[in-house]
């Protein structure tokens, strides 16, 4: 009892460690955004701070955000929208991302658009995993692969394994010290899936370089009443507790200016976007991920939305997990070789 009481007293008297994300000129921040705007909503202030400190920032967009039907309809001024309209919308959102990041002091060569299917990332975790099956085709854009300008590894198509590969190549060449990625509890299917692809790609790189341990933190965009209703989302802060980054008035204003560059999004939900220009940006450090894809069933499926357009959902069938595991074993080695080649490159600035 005495020992326990002493320990408690010691713990109480020890200075409380406030979790923080300290940044300086050595910081290499990689932000993974499922759609153009997520990076600024989650971390516009932190990205600005890293650049101001002389650190490097890279943003990777998993999709062009081209499947937002209400947004496409609002932009086109009509309801009968066609695949080319969705594609044009994606192009416009990419331009908005470049403008937003310029506002934060981050220039075009720091942005990477991977062009994977908006609203489709959850499918790639399970059924559309490897080249054993035809790739996923977006019911919005009718694409089954990224635009040619968006492809890093030749022959990349809308398959989960290809997305993991593209991410792993970026991790290996940029060599981030800090990665921000969506949290798996985020209630948008692409955000939830982004967590699993990040974790899988981290595993790929670690197989080549066991010393690769960037600081990993997650952010939340869509969860219940967030960004309203409290200082942090109604979720556990995980092992570290919530990490809160207090913005200066100037950082907050710059973030708001950047958010407003997303004109296509502001026109349909400015109230939501502007609510992220909060005094604090909040993140959580997850337990070390132990994810190996593909998944037999995806926890992200519960967040599928706009499925009326997605005919893939009608015929969805559960994959054979053992077969998937065998596929994965074959491909992990090949992927590791490709990642290894990129890992040998020197990191580029920013």
Query: Which chain residues interact with Zn ion by CB under 5 A?
Result: 34-35, 38
Residue among 172 and 180 whose Cβ is closer to Zn ion = 180
Residue among 64 and 204 whose Cβ is closer to Zn ion = 64
Residue among 34 and 233 whose Cβ is closer to Zn ion = 34
Residue among 113 and 130 whose Cβ is closer to Zn ion = 113
Q: Rounded to an integer, what is the distance from CA 72 to the centroid of its chain?
A: 22
Nearest CA to 100 among 262, 250, 252, 249?
A: 262
Residue among 130 and 264 whose Cβ is closer to Zn ion = 264
| Least separation in angstroms between CB 188 and Zn ion | 6
| Least separation in angstroms between CB 310 and Zn ion | 17
| Least separation in angstroms between CB 117 and Zn ion | 13
Sorted by sequence, the CB contacts under 8 Å of residue 150 that are 6+ apart come out as 113, 114, 115
Residue 26: how many CA atoms within 13 Å on its side-chain side? 4
Residue among 68 and 173 whose Cβ is closer to Zn ion = 68
| Least separation in angstroms between CB 64 and Zn ion | 11
| Least separation in angstroms between CB 284 and Zn ion | 18
| Least separation in angstroms between CB 37 and Zn ion | 7
Rama region for 305: left / alpha / beta (φ>0; ψ in -120 to 50; rest): beta
| Least separation in angstroms between CB 104 and Zn ion | 18
The residue to which tokens 């802060």 are assigned: 237
Residue among 128 and 219 whose Cβ is closer to Zn ion = 219
Cα gap 121→137, rounded to integer Å: 11
Residue among 38 and 161 whose Cβ is closer to Zn ion = 38
Ordered alpha helix ranges (H), the chain: 2-13, 38-52, 69-76, 83-103, 121-124, 160-174, 189-208, 249-259, 263-274, 321-343
Cα gap 206→168, rounded to integer Å: 10
Q: How big is the CA angle at 192 (ends 190 and 195), to the nearest 5 degrees?
A: 105
Residue among 192 and 208 whose Cβ is closer to Zn ion = 192
| Least separation in angstroms between CB 38 and Zn ion | 4
Answer for the pair 47, 26: CB distance below 8 angstroms, yes or no.
Answer: no
Strands 242-246 and 215-219: unpaired
| Least separation in angstroms between CB 65 and Zn ion | 7
Q: For Zn ion, which residue has the nearest CB?
A: 35
Given 3-state DSSP classes, what are the helix, strand and coil percentages for the chain, each rounded to the nearest 5? 45, 10, 45
Cα gap 162→131, rounded to integer Å: 9
First-residue to last-residue Cα distance in the chain: 54
The residue to which tokens 């979790």 are assigned: 19
Residue among 99 and 269 whose Cβ is closer to Zn ion = 269
| Least separation in angstroms between CB 56 and Zn ion | 23
Cα gap 284→138, rounded to integer Å: 32
């Amino acid at each position: 009892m005495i020992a326990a009481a002493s320990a408690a007293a010691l713990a109480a008297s020890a200075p409380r460690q406030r979790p923080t994300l300290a940044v300086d000129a050595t910081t290499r921040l990689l932000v993974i955004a499922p759609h153009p705007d997520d990076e600024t909503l989650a971390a516009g202030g932190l990205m600005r701070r890293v650049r101001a400190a002389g650190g490097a920032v890279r943003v990777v967009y998993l999709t062009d955000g081209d499947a937002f039907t209400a947004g496409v309809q609002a932009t086109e001024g009509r309801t009968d929208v066609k695949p080319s309209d969705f594609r044009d919308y994606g192009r416009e959102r990419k331009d908005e991302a470049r403008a937003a990041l310029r506002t934060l002091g981050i220039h075009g060569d720091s942005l990477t658009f991977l062009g994977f299917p908006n609203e489709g990332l959850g499918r790639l975790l399970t059924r559309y995993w490897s080249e054993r099956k035809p790739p996923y085709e977006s019911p919005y854009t009718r694409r089954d692969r990224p635009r040619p300008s968006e492809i890093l590894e030749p022959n990349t198509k809308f398959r989960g394994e290809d997305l993991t590969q593209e991410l792993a190549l970026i991790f290996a060449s940029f060599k981030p010290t800090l990665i921000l990625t969506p949290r798996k509890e985020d209630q948008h299917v692409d955000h939830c899936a982004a967590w699993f692809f990040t974790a899988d790609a981290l595993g790929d790189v670690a197989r080549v370089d066991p010393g690769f341990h960037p600081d990993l933190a997650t952010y939340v965009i869509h969860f219940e009443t967030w960004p309203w209703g409290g200082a942090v989302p109604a979720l556990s802060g995980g092992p570290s507790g919530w990490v809160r980054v207090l913005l200066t008035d100037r950082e907050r204003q710059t973030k708001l200016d950047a958010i407003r560059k997303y004109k296509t999004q502001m026109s349909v939900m400015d109230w939501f976007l502007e609510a992220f220009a909060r005094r604090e940006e909040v993140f959580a450090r997850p337990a070390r991920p132990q994810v190996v894809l593909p998944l037999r069933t995806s926890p992200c499926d519960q967040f599928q939305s706009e499925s009326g357009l997605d005919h893939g959902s009608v015929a969805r069938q559960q994959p054979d997990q053992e077969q998937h595991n065998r596929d994965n074993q074959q491909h992990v080695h090949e992927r590791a070789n490709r990642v290894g080649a990129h890992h040998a490159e020197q990191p580029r600035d920013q």
